[in-house]
Amino acid sequence: MTNNTASNYPARILEMYKTMTLIRAFEEIAEEAFDAGLVNGSIHQYIGEEAIGTAVCANLRKTDFILSNHRGHGHAIAKGANPEAMMKELLGKVGGTSGGKGGSMHIADFSVGMLGANGVLADGLTMGVGAAQALVLRNVDAIVTVFVGDGTTNRGPFYESLNWAMIYELPILFVCENNTYASSTSTRKVTAGPGPVARAEAFGMPAYDVDGNDVREVDEIASKIITNIRNGGGPQFLHAKTYRIKGHVSRDKMLYRPEGETEANWKNEPISRCADWLIKNGISEAEINSTNASAYKEIRDALEAAIAAPFPDGKLAYKDVQDLGNRYLGEHS
């Protein structure tokens, strides 16, 4: 990622546009693969929320760490995970990020600091705090970022994690992606009090609100907050308002949604907002179009490669999962 200086600013935003488009392409093509019966398990799409993971990760180093949740494809791509290996993981194939044994909610790539998606709500928080504690104990110059959904702020481990992070002044950023829904429930209806920022502030944690559909705004505030954490400022909280354009999971028909709500929110989605800004700021439409085309080609190629890849050998089912030995082979892995 280019540095944030005035002269190369549109180039920096174009880089983020590329990442957001790659995430969008991944989510759309993953849905096609799901509909074709190629994906085991369900997928939770990040469509409409791409600006948050993209702009936050644009301010992280490769040596920093992130923890994700069930809606983790965008976070993984933004942190630098390989989309082809991710697609292989969705299809349960050899070469997947977790050897094809984890699927969508267990994508991890330690080589780029992506410590894992997670199907158990709020587990990423406790693991993230543990990772940040380990960095302090080992005197490592890096930070941890945890992405958490708005509904998840109603779970107990959210409070334990924020409390522990503050007590030990850990180098950690909590990013709450408020997409207004928790499955089929409007989060507002099941959340007491003024919301996530007030909850973080109750622990004495600096907390900020941002328009999560404006990649430039997220970039600006993430840059400040992350610099602050690197300089010893302790835990910080970013609450990014966005909207989950798609259903909760790939097969959700969204019958609980008021009519017209999705359509209204499409008008505010982050990628076309970013394209409009880029075009007004000197980037040609041709460049935007070729960015889109190459993102979709990369992901189509990834799906083809995933389809062509073999399934893992069943005898290796226990390998890398838990070292209890392989009862079929009668040996320890």
Residues of this chain that bind Mg ion (CB under 5 A)? 149-151, 179, 181-182
Mark the segment that binds ligand TPP (CB under 6 A) among 80-88, 118-126, 137-145, 285-293. Answer: 118-126
Q: In terms of CB distance, is 138 or 189 closer to Mg ion?
A: 189
Shortest approach of ligand TPP to residue 327 CB, angstroms? 29
Kindly identify the residues of this chain, within the stretch 69-98, that bind ligand TPP according to CB under 6 A.
70-71
Is 181 a binder of ligand TPP (CB under 6 A)? Answer: yes
Kindly identify the residues of this chain, within the stretch 213-272, that bind ligand TPP according to CB under 6 A.
244, 248
Token couple for 245:
């354009």
The one among 60, 115, 182, 271 contacting ligand TPP by CB under 6 A: 182
Shortest approach of Mg ion to residue 183 CB, angstroms? 8
Judging by DSSP bridges, how do beta strands 181-182 and 185-186 pair with one another? antiparallel
Q: In terms of CB distance, is 124 or 171 closer to ligand TPP?
A: 124
Q: In terms of CB distance, is 45 or 291 closer to ligand TPP?
A: 45
Residue 68 binds which entry of ligand TPP, Mg ion, none, CB below 5-8 Å type-dependent: none
- If you search the block for the tokens 């280019």, which residue do you land on? 2
Q: In terms of CB distance, is 136 or 198 closer to Mg ion?
A: 198
Is 179 a binder of ligand TPP (CB under 6 A)? Answer: yes
Is 152 a binder of ligand TPP (CB under 6 A)? Answer: yes
The one among 100, 102, 103, 151 contacting ligand TPP by CB under 6 A: 151
Size of the site for ligand TPP (CB under 6 A): 16
- Three-state SS for the chain is CCCCCHHHHHHHHHHHHHHHHHHHHHHHHHHHHHHCCCCCCCCCCCCCCHHHHHHHHCCCCCCCEEECCCCCHHHHHHHCCCHHHHHHHHCCCCCCCCCCCCCHHHCCEHHHCECCCCCCCCHHHHHHHHHHHHHHHCCCCCCEEEEEECHHHHCHHHHHHHHHHHHCCCCEEEEEEECCEECCEEHHHHCCCCCHHHHHHCCCCCEEEEECCCHHHHHHHHHHHHHHHHCCCCCEEEEEECCCCCCCCCCCCCCCCCCCHHHHHHCCCHHHHHHHHHHHCCCCHHHHHHHHHHHHHHHHHHHHHHHHCCCCCHHHCCCCCCCCCECCCCECC
Mark the segment that binds ligand TPP (CB under 6 A) among 14-22, 143-151, 260-268, 274-282. Answer: 143-151
The one among 41, 119, 130, 312 contacting ligand TPP by CB under 6 A: 119
Do 41 and 47 touch, CB atoms closer than 8 A?
Answer: no
Q: In terms of CB distance, is 104 or 152 closer to ligand TPP?
A: 152
Is 126 a binder of ligand TPP (CB under 6 A)? Answer: no
**Residues found near ligand TPP in the complex (CB under 6 A):** 70-71, 119-121, 149-152, 179, 181-183, 187, 244, 248
